[in-house]
Structure 1
Amino acid sequence: MPGGREVLLTKEKECPTPRDVVMDATRARTSVQIIFGFLLTVVFTPLFHQLPQTDQTIYIVTIVLGALATGAPIGPVVLLLATCTSALFLVPWLVAWYLACWFGLPLWAKARYTAEK
């Protein structure tokens, strides 16, 4: 049954579990944070100011890209949090709109058109 084992291995590789995805993301985030920390320490050394302007610019661009890579994995969480927070602010307005359309508009129409007859 070697063929059955090969099929099983290919199925396992095709569909990672959500736990595997979370673990990979956690490892990647930790690695990026460690590398970013090392990059930041060099800026505060006296040798950094002795570098030519081109090397300093390349280094600063690398630090900015490292900061973006550090923040990228938490970006969707921040967007979700912002969406939930804005939804809380919109709820009173939506309730008022619903009440106006569901009750206010029919009552206004009834009062207007029955008063004319």
Structure 2
Amino acid sequence: MKRGRRETEEERADRRWNELLQEVRVAQTGGQVLLAFLLGAAFAPRFEELTTPEVHLYVLTVVLGAASTGALIGPVTLHRFVTGRRLKPETVDLASILTVVGLFLLLCTVTCAMLLITLLVLQSGTAYWIVLGLFIWFVLCWFAMPIYALWRQKRTRRRRGGGDPLAHPAAPGS
């Protein structure tokens, strides 16, 4: 028994685009709020108390936040430039790549921000262990679980004789 949607390539691209936009809205908002906080932190009175390594970590965090914001806004500009040129499936694929890159950069931004904050508050090596635990948690939630879901789907389809879903990105229901 075949499962999945019955949709044309264009319908599938439209659906995937709308889903991607919803996902980007969530990630983009979080990233932009974090970046705004980081940009404002340089004007806080305690900023002058930072050591040189802490200032370097701060600058790295701001750069990562800006890069993340750029990657997460990228799908919008990509769509705007190619709209009306019958490139929706290609646009969705490229926008998906930008989104994953943006999420990875957001992971790096959050990790660096947490490290900076925990180092300032705890003033001990415990900060590194706390941030390492949070980093692992984010990697599990954002990357390992989706990869595991793909692996399970691939394994299930192979057992049922349905082929490799990763080899057919246009497979129904994806």
Query: Given the two structures, how large is their TM-score scaled by the length of structure 2?
Result: 0.36
Q: Percent identity?
A: 32
Larger Rg: 1
1:34-79 deviations in Å (ceiling 9; x for gaps): 1111111111112111110000110111001100101112335546
Corresponding residue of 1:30: 29
Which letter maps to 1:38?
Answer: F
Corresponding residue of 2:70: 71
More helix by share: 1
Query: Given the two structures, how large is their TM-score scaled by the length of structure 1?
Result: 0.51
What's the RMSD between the two structures over aligned residues? 3.2
Task: Give the conservation status (yes or no) of the 8 Å contact 2:28–2:73.
Answer: no
Structure 1 runs of 4+ with >2 Å offset: 73-84
How far apart in 2 are the matches of 1:30 and 1:51? 28
Unaligned runs of 5+ in 2: 6-11, 84-174
Unaligned runs of 5+ in 1: 85-117
Corresponding residue of 2:49: 50
1:1-117 to structure 2, matched below 5 A, reads 17-18=15-16, 19-78=18-77
